[in-house]
Amino acid sequence: MAEATPSFKIFPGQAFPLGASEVDNGINFAIFSQHATAVTLCLSLPQRGELDMLAGGMIEFSLDPNLNKTGDIWHICIEDLPRSNVLYGYRIDGPKDWDKGHRFDSNNVLIDPYAKLVEGRRNFGDAKHKLSKFLGTYDFDSLPFDWGEDYKLPNIPERDLVVYEMNVRAFTADESSCLDQDIRGTYAGLIEKIPHLLELGINAVELLPVFEFDEFEFQRRPNPRDHMINTWGYSTINFFAPMSRYGSGGGGAVSASREFKEMVKALHGAGIEVILDVVYNHTNEADDKHPYTTSFRGIDNKVYYMVDLNNEGQLLNFSGCGNTFNCNHPVVMELILDSLRNWVVEYHIDGFRFDLASVLCRGTDGSPLGAPPLIRAIAKDATLSRCKIIAEPWDCGGLYLVGSFPNWDRWAEWNGKYRDDLRRFIKGDPGMKGAFATRVSGSADLYRKNKRKPYHSVNFVIAHDGFTLRDLVSYNFKHNEANGEGGNDGSNDNFSWNCGFEGETDNVDIIALRFRQMKNFHLALMVSQGVPMMLMGDEYGHTRYGNNNSYGHDTALNNFQWQQLNARKSDHFRFFSEVIHYRQKHRVFSHENFLDRSDVTWHEDNWDNPDSKFLAFTLHDKGGGEIYLAFNAHDFFVKVSIPPAPPKRRWFRVVDTNLASPDDFVGEGVPGIGSTYNVAPYSSILLEAK
């Protein structure tokens, strides 16, 4: 042992549960490593100084493989340890054969993969602690969280979801949020802004990653990206611990965990579900050239990552981030399932969106699997059975599975084809009318298989990746120079149109056309069968000035601009929220099953003409109500014949995106619709029969 004092009574301990747990005679520590030859538990006690002062300040317990090992699990129990405020990690040694996939280095103190809480620097972006260490901790002192007597889960049927993709920090970090400095950019800050979410009308938030990550990871060595701060968080350090620096007031991991639960409780109280964007395809530990070893790499690289044993044990890289988590290895699969269950049981999470989920469909050698064990296990797991499970059905190794993601009739998908086809039709590309009709009616070509439903398509035009909605109609090209990679990062296939001028302009006609196009996209999204998802900030027209890969900017580029929201509250925002509320009130937009001939009439005999960019259709409600929609992507007026309204009803105009606010949306409808309607260039209309 490295230090003789203070003295503790130690026992062999037990192999389960993994992580730190409270047992009758003390605190038990258990960690898996199949290939380790030596394991040392390192502890830092509460009075022993700051996290950044760890050098040499830890008590070490060497584990005896004859006493402290069961199978591949190393374990030890220590009596009389404090029940909280203890930091812990492991030094692990083993074979040095890189070509066999090993990366052991006993100089590193590693985070327990099963640590439920992780301590690092206390404040987000605090440059004084840029190279802060991260260590596991535990809390057996706090009382169980009080979810409240009348608390209940929203349990919203999938078909009724309207999803708002958002970033916890960026939502309230800007001073325009008018929150106290201590709670800007935190879970508590999000709670303060729930009234905005309710006014907008969404009923589910999809949070960009909230597992512990190191926002300074780009700044650990000189490189072209060393000016950036990771604000998106797609770089997990640990799969159980909530991001501690999203807690308010620099309160640390225990406080952040409690505040996270307060946020979920408040959202649930408002009838809003919480879906987490989870990143199990890779970790923060990067590649072999510039590794950032904090946990898995030093514990058992060959188990936790895909390595190419035919190529000197190199890391395989299907994630685009230097490493690929070995998701279908039995041990890694169990870790992922335990992590997901923990978020559901401990934090009451309602669903998960799996980043680059095609990686989760690869075997341990990287080859695609037809029935991936992990994907099946998630679909069949009892604890996860009430959760929404959503795949991003592609990866950086070319495994594109939109419409064919292994699903067991449970998995939904981010519908990338919906995004591309809607963008192309609305901007006026030729030959897109049929594809547009297919997408707004639920993408039956992709999802009408076995028992899948329209709501297994998560429809979106905009997500965190790529352009904002405002930029989609303002830029033909990405402008990513600020990212430090010479503009080489980010997608080139944006299907965007700048409406006649690249970037910011004072031209009132171009500005008007852009706002009209944004309304057209939003209307199309909200009348489509399936689950609509929109991006935070699009409700006021947020711009990133053409940057379509803004993960590294802790600035107004990403941060919600509350003053801009207030400036557009009565027009752009009003339209967006009214259309969402209208969708919620009309079941005709969220069918349980795919549309048949009695559900929709296409007013169209020109399907095969690529130059036709106008589409009109009527959705029939079994209760007798009807909704007529027309989308004109031509640059000229189209005079269209309106079909007769059903008996004893007449048409009322609810939406015409060509009209100025408040006439662009009139909830009760405007009467006096004749037998024809002149639909303006690049505009859309919605009529309701009443």
Contacts of 194 (CB under 8 A, 6+ apart): 266, 267, 270, 272
Contact 355, 389 (CB under 8 A): no
Smallest CA-to-CA distance from 334 within 363, 304, 292 is with 304
What's the rounded Cα separation, in Å, for the pair 29 and 135?
Answer: 14
Smallest CA-to-CA distance from 307 within 18, 35, 114 is with 35
Q: Which of 101, 117, 139 is the last residue of a domain?
A: 139
Residue with tokens 């559901």: 344
pLDDT at site 468: 98
- Please spell the DSSP secondary structure of 54-82, one letter per residue: -TT--EEEEPPTTTSEETTEEEEEETT--
Amino acid at 662: P
Residue 52 included in any domain = yes
Residue 612 included in any domain = yes
pLDDT at site 56: 53
Residue 327 included in any domain = no
- Please spell the DSSP secondary structure of 648-683, one letter per residue: T--EEEEEETTSPTTTTEEEEEE----SEEEEPTTE
Q: What is the tally of structural domains in the chain?
A: 2
Q: Which residue in 158, 392, 471, 539 is the catalytic one?
A: 392
pLDDT at site 51: 53
pLDDT at site 272: 98
Residue 219 included in any domain = no
Residue 635 annotated as catalytic? no
Strand locations in 152-239 (E) = 163-166, 204-207
Residue 657 included in any domain = yes
What's the rounded Cα separation, in Å, for the pair 293 and 199?
Answer: 44
In eight-state DSSP terms, residue 316 is: P
Residue 392 annotated as catalytic? yes
Burial label for 543, CB within 10 Å (0-12, 13-18, 19+), is buried
Q: What are phi and psi of 91, to 5 degrees?
A: -100, 135
Query: Which residues in the chain show pLDDT less than 70?
Result: 1-6, 47-56
Contact 77, 11 (CB under 8 A): yes
Smallest CA-to-CA distance from 629 within 445, 425, 469, 440 is with 440
- The CATH code of the domain that includes 633 is 2.60.40.1180
| Three-class DSSP labels, 13-47 | CCCCCCEEEEECCEEEEEEECCCCCEEEEEEECCC
What's the rounded Cα separation, in Å, for the pair 270 and 39?
Answer: 47
Q: What are phi and psi of 193, to 5 degrees?
A: -105, 10
- The CATH code of the domain that includes 102 is 2.60.40.10
Q: Which of 115, 139, 163 is the last residue of a domain?
A: 139
pLDDT at site 3: 39
- Token duo for residue 220: 């650990």
Residue range of the domain that includes 73:
9-139
Residue 127 included in any domain = yes
Residue with tokens 């730190």: 20
Contact 465, 471 (CB under 8 A): no
Q: How many alpha carbons lie under 13 Å from residue 366 in its C-beta half-sphere?
A: 19
Number of other CB atoms surrounding residue 622 within 10 Å: 9
Smallest CA-to-CA distance from 156 within 41, 58, 273 is with 273
SS3 content of the chain, % helix, strand, coil (to 5): 25, 20, 55
What's the rounded Cα separation, in Å, for the pair 150 and 160?
Answer: 23
Tell me the three state secondary structure of residue 332.
Answer: helix
Q: Which of 92, 123, 139 is the last residue of a domain?
A: 139
Residue 615 included in any domain = yes
Q: Which residue in 300, 355, 539, 554 is the catalytic one?
A: 355
